[in-house]
Amino acid sequence: MALSVSPSSLSFTQNFPHFVTSHSLPLSQCHPISFQTPPPKSIHYHPPRALREWQEYEEAVKKKDLATALSFLISIEKDNSDDSVEENGSLSTQSARSRIGDLGFFGGSVRDWEVLDTCLNADDMRLVGMAYEFLKAKGFLPNFGRFSSIVLDGSRDVTPSVLKSSTGLEASKFSPKKWGLSGSSSVVLAGFLGGVSYLLQQGIDIRPQLAILLGLAFTDSLFLGGTCLAQISSYWPPYRRRVLVHEAGHLLVAYLMGCPIRGVILDPIVAMQMGIQGQAGTQFWDENMNNEMAEGQLSGSTFDRYCMVLFAGTAAEALVYGDAEGGENDENLFRSISVLLQPPLSVAQMSNQARWSVLQSYNLLKWHRHAHRAAFKAMENGASLSVIIRKIEEAMSSNR
């Protein structure tokens, strides 16, 4: 299926080692051993230089300079592909550095992961994609894109009854809820109203202050997208855990589907400053979708993959909690894209596409629940993106 879309209607962002030393061996006169020791002047490896270069890489990581960090890693990899032994039999400079890098003294493969932590500030998403492809080529990301071409069996027509029979949950459980109408938020709202009522009965009139608070909340919702309320709510453990579950779902499905992840924003204020809709967000990039949208065409498989990542947060909440509260902005983004397709999807088609996508994401997360939990725990501990991805890989490899 090929869907066309007007490029002008929608724009997407273009977006260890150890020292090599020579040890003196005690030689017996009865058993002489002869060997040749290369002259000292033929050794070209200088530890201070290697250390300095890795320090420059570390500085690029700290500055979130993806271009510099990735360029350094690529140059090291290119140098390592040269012959490891020179004509006189001595270790070449780059060969020695390769061995040092691979074994972890100056960082090597462990430090290679840190290039992912520089992706958040990258303006060119192609560089982000290159970083993931570089690590995948080195064997660090065997599960990145592992399910990029997966086509799950079953009918494309996913009715509410089919969704319930497959997940055990009513279709309404996958719909985002307004704050105060469901889950723990309803308990908080009931407690707040009860407290206000009690104070009024005691002769304490707080209605003027309450009116001011409601006015501030309305202003926050209207102009800041609820950022201030979300910032306050983020300090409430149950709410924060649900947000982490939601974003871990987005991250894992995007990773397994081969969509490079730029970063995960969990601070509502930072999300607002970066122009992210919602109170938190996982930024990912789909190269196929970017290219197809530029040509005014969108294939069915690309659209399906994008929708699966988009509804993965809702699916994760439903899998863990039995219902979803977040995901309203995900649904709004889905609708905005659906109506720009030519021909645009009808309401019935959008509903079916949403149910199909959330079901596929739900099953994928269910099959890899251990990896989702690993991502959640890493995010809960405040880990960087590189650590989160590494925890996913460790969980995937340990459960094969």
DSSP structure class, residue 81? T
Average of per-residue pLDDT across 78-104? 46
Contact 124, 14 (CB under 8 A): yes
Query: What distance in Å separates the CA atoms of residue 303 and residue 307, rounded to the nearest whole number?
Result: 6
Whether the per-residue pLDDT at 260 is higher than 50: the answer is yes
CA torsion 145-397-132-254 (nearest 10°) is 50
Query: What distance in Å separates the CA atoms of residue 226 and residue 270, rounded to the nearest whole number?
Result: 13
* DSSP-based three-state secondary structure for 296: coil
DSSP structure class, residue 346? P
Q: What is the pLDDT of residue 338?
A: 92
Whether the per-residue pLDDT at 273 is higher than 70: the answer is no
Q: What is the pLDDT of residue 220?
A: 47
Ordered by where they begin, the domains of the chain are 160-173+236-398 (1.20.58.760), 184-225 (no CATH)
**pLDDT by residue (tens digit) across 96-105?**
344 334 433 3
Query: What distance in Å separates the CA atoms of residue 296 and residue 10, rounded to the nearest whole number?
Result: 10
Backbone angles phi, psi at 5, to 5 degrees: -145, 145
Can you read off the two tokens belonging to residue 201?
């009965």
**pLDDT by residue (tens digit) across 216-227?**
565 645 545 555
The label of the residue with tokens 């947060």 reads 313
Query: What distance in Å separates the CA atoms of residue 308 and residue 230, rounded to the nearest whole number?
Result: 25
Question: For the chain, what is the largest distance between any 2 Cα atoms, rounded to a whole number of angstroms?
Answer: 106
Q: Residue 323: pLDDT band by 50, 70, 90 thresholds?
A: very high
Q: At what angle do helices 237-256 and 347-367 cross, to 10 degrees?
A: 90
Name the β-bridge partners of 264. Answer: 282
Question: Residue type at 75?
Answer: S
**pLDDT by residue (tens digit) across 45-65?**
445 556 667 788 888 888 889
Averaged pLDDT of the chain: 76
Can you read off the two tokens belonging to residue 17?
């080692």
**pLDDT by residue (tens digit) across 114-125?**
999 999 888 899
Q: Residue 19: pLDDT band by 50, 70, 90 thresholds?
A: very low
User: How many C-beta neighbours within 10 Å does residue 387 have?
Assistant: 17
